[in-house]
Amino acid sequence: MPDIRHTPKAPTRAQTLAAGERIDAHRHDDHQIVYAGSGVLAVTTGAGTWFAPGTRAIWVPAGTVHSHRAYGHLELHLVGLPAGDNPLGLDAPAVLTVSPLLRELILAYTAAPDDTSAERRRLRAVLRDQLRASPQRPVQLPAPTDPRLGAVCAMVHDDPADPRTLSALATAAGAGERTLSRLFRSELGMTFPQWRTQSRLYHALRMLADDVPVTTVAHRCGWSSPSAFIDVFRRAFGYTPGTHHRRP
């Protein structure tokens, strides 16, 4: 088993990662908020992968072994919170909506991590209040444990444009459709169509971060038309894929 880097205190800082750059698996004794000011961020744990563009942040609870990966040029902002300070009351990773105010608070707070002034303490208090009020968003690819479910998820994830139904994929995996349908709900907490949509959105964000045109992304990710893709993307992230690189 590989060594997992352990850093007792989660850092609060801003840093940049080049496209494709990774931060290997590690854990902190503190909680951490991870926000991508630009590019797309993927955070992976043993339970799956959480992904976020600039309108989302990822909550990583204390003690969670996790790794990061950048898609596109990533401006990464990290906010550490002591293990006893959990404004969200969450013990599992989650994706949070980042309002314009919360975004500015995160940017300001990570710009001067060594500042110990009273002004910074007040900034932190407002940041915590905004975190507590942030809605959670289901932008996650849960990791299956059942090998039959894993085989189907791998086929879908390896080829997001694959149009096969669950019945056809079940046949290819040597499993029953009803069994797989039950496993999607019990293991992953979502239906097969919901999981496939999450997988396609994950691929779409990666492609957009690499400047792939919207029409091409829609085609490669299995949507019937660019308009269908735009509609799903807007409902998931709150903006259209065409404006992805123009996000503040």
The CATH code of the domain that includes 195 is 1.10.10.60
18 and 63 assigned to the same domain: yes
Regions in the chain scoring below 70 on pLDDT: 1-3, 138, 244-248
218 lies in which domain range? 144-246
222 and 195 assigned to the same domain: yes
Domain boundary pick from 112, 137, 162: 137
110 and 92 assigned to the same domain: yes
Beta strand 5-7 with 140-142 is: unpaired
pTM: 0.81
Domain boundary pick from 137, 160, 188: 137
The total number of structural domains that make up the chain: 2
133 and 155 assigned to the same domain: no
Residues near 240 by Cβ (< 8 Å), separated by ≥ 6? 230, 233, 234
Domain boundary pick from 137, 172, 201: 137
pLDDT tens digits for range 134-176? 887 767 788 899 999 999 999 999 999 999 999 999 999 899 9
Nearest to 93 by CA among 144, 150, 38, 46: 46
CB atoms < 10 A from the CB of 237, how many? 22
Q: Are 50 and 139 in contact (CB under 8 A)?
A: yes
